[in-house]
Amino acid sequence: MSKPSFSGVVPPLVTPFAEDGSLDVPSFERLIESQIAAGVDGLFALGSSGEVGFLTDAARSVVLTEAVRISAGRVPVLAGVNDMSTARVIEQIRIAEFAGVDAVVATVPFYVRPNIVEIESHFRALAAATSLPIFAYDVPVRVNVKLERDLLIRLGVDGVIAGVKDSSGDDVGFRRLVAANEAAGRPLILFTGHEIVVDGALLAGADGVVPGLGNVDPASYVRLYHAAKAGDWTEAKRIQDQLASLFEIVFQAHGVSGEAAGLGAFKTALQVIGIIESNRMAHPVPALEGETVDRIRAIVEESGLLVR
């Protein structure tokens, strides 16, 4: 079998829940089928949008096994393997390997707060423990550490990591990483995790995008990516502007956590569209309801997604 390639649009899947808190498999299947029908280039399960931090190992295993089964080799599946220490991340990698994923995405350990030397040792230990491609997940809002550009390039040149999923929100840092990657011969595949500056990231040289909003409107991100690859930056900006308007759904909830406001908005929009059964969140995060849902529905209706 040929090795999968990684680029383009790779949405970080939400995890739909049944009433008892288990994975809602029919909803998950509709979600994945809608993504593949829209032309996405891969699927990222158990990222922040998948509420990975709330899931037990058993639940993570179910999500990955179902993602691999449903996608059936049509697109590569990447698995989040985030945990508090190197040893625990390797245990998550074993779960991902058993499920049959194509690559893993790993943060630095959190809670234990490693320094730069320990971070490098962490990624080298992960690479020694698996033959799967490893993407470094740069998400300081979750782990309190910004991955250093020179470290990432060194790990790429040495074949330790295959790429980076940049969710740092640091556009200057991402531009510098792209430039350093080019100078080093492009050892890394670079994904932006931004939803609303994808056109700029692609213009700078990103290889693809991992947009949480891609759960809701994957087709627009696919069109945006192809417009950018064709050099039609006017069309890319037009699509990006439409997606920025749709992204307003994440600002409709007030007085709740970021998890409830952001991920809850994605799930609520998917419920409104009819892809998932419920906007239920992992305990103890509340589902959005009432006027917040009404405002999100109005934005989704304005986007035209309900008539596609």
Cβ contact 188:203 at 8 Å = no
Q: Residues near 194 by Cβ (< 8 Å), separated by ≥ 6?
A: 167, 169, 171, 201, 209, 211
Asked if 277 contacts 26 with a C-beta cutoff of 8 angstroms, the reply is yes
Is residue 46 within 8 A of residue 101, CB to CB? The reply is no
Query: Which phi-psi region, left, alpha or beta, contains residue 231 (left: φ > 0; alpha: ψ -120 to 50)?
Result: left
DSSP letter at 288? P
DSSP 204-239: HT--EE--GGGGT-HHHHHHHHHHHHTT-HHHHHHH
Q: How far apart are the first and last CA of the chain?
A: 36
Query: Between β-strands 208-209 and 43-45, what pairing exists: parallel, antiparallel or unpaired?
Result: unpaired
**CA 216 vs CA 5, 171, 227, 233, 265: distances in Å:** 24, 24, 20, 23, 10
* Gap between the Cα atoms of 285 and 37, Å rounded: 31
User: Which residues are annotated as catalytic?
Assistant: 137, 165
What are the distances in angstroms from CA 214 to CA 228, 269, 271? 17, 11, 14
